[in-house]
Amino acid sequence: MIRPLFALLMLASAIPALAEEKPLTRIAFGSCADQDRPLPIFEKLADLKPELFIALGDNIYADLKPEKGVTEMESMKIKYQKLAAVPGWVKINKTCPIMATWDDHDYGKNDIGEEYKHKDESQTIFLDFFNVPKDDPRRTQKGVYHAKTFGPEGKRVQVILLDTRYFRSKLKKGTAPLPGMRGLPYVPNTDPGATFLGEEQWKWLEAQLKQPAEIRLLGSSVQVVSEDHPFEKWMNIPAEREKLFKVIRDANAGGVIVLSGDRHLAEISMLPKGIGYPLYDITSSGFNQGFQGWRAVEKNSHLVAAMPHGNNFGLVTIDWMATPSPRISLQVRDEEGEIAIKDTLPLHLLKPGPAVAELPVKPKEGAISPRDALKKKGEKVVVEMKVQATGSSKTRIFLNSEKNRSDELNFTIVLSTKALTGKYEKATKETFANKVIRVTGTVGEFNGTLQIVVDEEKQLEILE
């Protein structure tokens, strides 16, 4: 016999409310929780005391091992009840509010879209579990997309959660499998009528992006930026991906960061200029579905950092008091709650226009970024970076990767008099300002600052 959902709703009703005037500083997120397997990671997530938790889909696996002797929808309800009983999930509910969207396995079937015949019933079960009020628009609209803005003017975070299932056109598959892949890869669907979001959701998104906010977390159950792998992603319908970029540009919406799931791995990807400024996509997957064996980092031409195996969750932290601009940290944490990968960026990078030029240089093959060099103390490395600030003394020139040399992310190249010979004999600090340089040397430390000291001309090259 199926237990009624009222117990779940009573639990959800106990979720602490978040004052919308208080600025968010810690937002946890993630995807892919098989309710029939242990979920200890929820305990570690709750221990970090996030102020908001975003569930990005595959919140249960309704289609795996269906419950015997009941209908498909009754089986789905039972699986939600199992999730509600997980101690870590109970702890999260007591810690912070939850916003949620779905992906294929809690929507209904693997990789399915608009063709799923039980989608309306599934939507009702989803909304009941997450205690969505009866007068909420999601109770009458098609699809579970929704948005909410937190914080006072100047520190507003808008959370926009898309529904990438209810309206999404059927995907197209290739005719031959790829090496090492089970099944057929997806290939671009170029049909003029193919859609990801559907007409009504597109109109809604356009309106949401025109709402005032400093930071916008755009939740998509599947990856937006990564485009090289053969699985589900926005690039499966290329015109819709371009439409998404255009809608963001046309709305002149700054501060957009994509949160995604689905892939059973974790990545941070970045598209430099698709929306007029860098578009970051941080993928966290999954809570207990992360690949457990070893595997290489898969091809991703927009990759910033990767965690190709292991259970994980995501965390966005915001330092509103940082100068000269609020600082955003994009983190993926492992099952112990430790940081596995991260990238940190100032908010002023995420504005349409000239901020694109300030994006850290993506090193060519064989080199690393200054941020990676900060982790290589004592090692000989090749670093490529754009010189954001310079300084000099009677005997040395200092080249910095950040505008503020006191920034915790700053990495310094020190040019000694021995290096300022040959083609650099007449060089001054102005010679290197705003140039991209390539430097070979050993990472050392001076007064708490990590740096490379250049003593030979051949260690240094100006690339542009």
Please spell the DSSP secondary structure of 209-268, one letter per residue: TTS--SEEEEEESS-SS--SSSSSSGGGSHHHHHHHHHHHHHTT---EEEEE--SSSEEE
- Give the pLDDT score at 394: 85
Give the CATH H-level superfamily of domain 6-358: Alkaline phosphatase D (PhoD) (3.60.21.70)
Residue 389's pLDDT is 93
Q: Which of 3, 21, 5 is nearest to 13 (CA)?
A: 5
Q: Which segments of the chain have a pLDDT < 70? A: 1-20, 354-362
Residue 68's SS3 state is coil
Our measurement of the distance from residue 236's CA atom to the centroid of its chain's CA atoms, rounded to an integer in Å, reads 19
CA angle (196 as vertex; 315, 132 as ends), nearest 5: 55
Q: Which two tokens stand for residue 146?
A: 């929704």
End-to-end, the C-alpha distance of the chain in Å comes to 70
pLDDT of residue 405: 83
- Any bridge partners for residue 259, and if so which? 219, 282
Q: Which two tokens stand for residue 317?
A: 């932290």
Burial class (CB in 10 A: 0-12, 13-18, 19+), 330: buried
Residue 178: its pLDDT value, please? 87
Strand segments (E) across 56-177: 98-100, 146-150, 157-161, 172-173
Q: What is the pLDDT of residue 5?
A: 46
Taking the domains of the chain in order of start, what are their residue ranges? 6-358, 370-462
Q: Tell me if 6-358 shares its fold with 370-462.
A: no
Residue type, 179: P
Summarize pLDDT for 77-110 with one digit per residue, the tens.
999 999 999 999 999 999 999 999 999 999 999 9
- The residues that bridge with 267 in the sheet, in sequence order, are 283, 306
Closest CA to 89 of 161, 143, 19, 35: 35
Those residues with Cβ within 8 angstroms of residue 195's Cβ, 6 or more apart along the chain or in another chain: 167, 168, 169, 202, 237, 240
Q: Which two three-digit tokens encode residue 29? A: 């997120």
Cis-peptide into 324, omega within 30 deg: yes
| Best CA proximity match to 125, nearest among 78, 56, 57, 58 | 78
* Predicted model pTM: 0.80
The span from the CA of 89 to the CA of 98, in Å, is: 11
What gap in Å lies between CA 93 and CA 13, rounded to an integer?
Answer: 9
| CATH architecture for residues 370-462 | Beta Barrel (2.40)
Structure tokens at 103: 């992906």
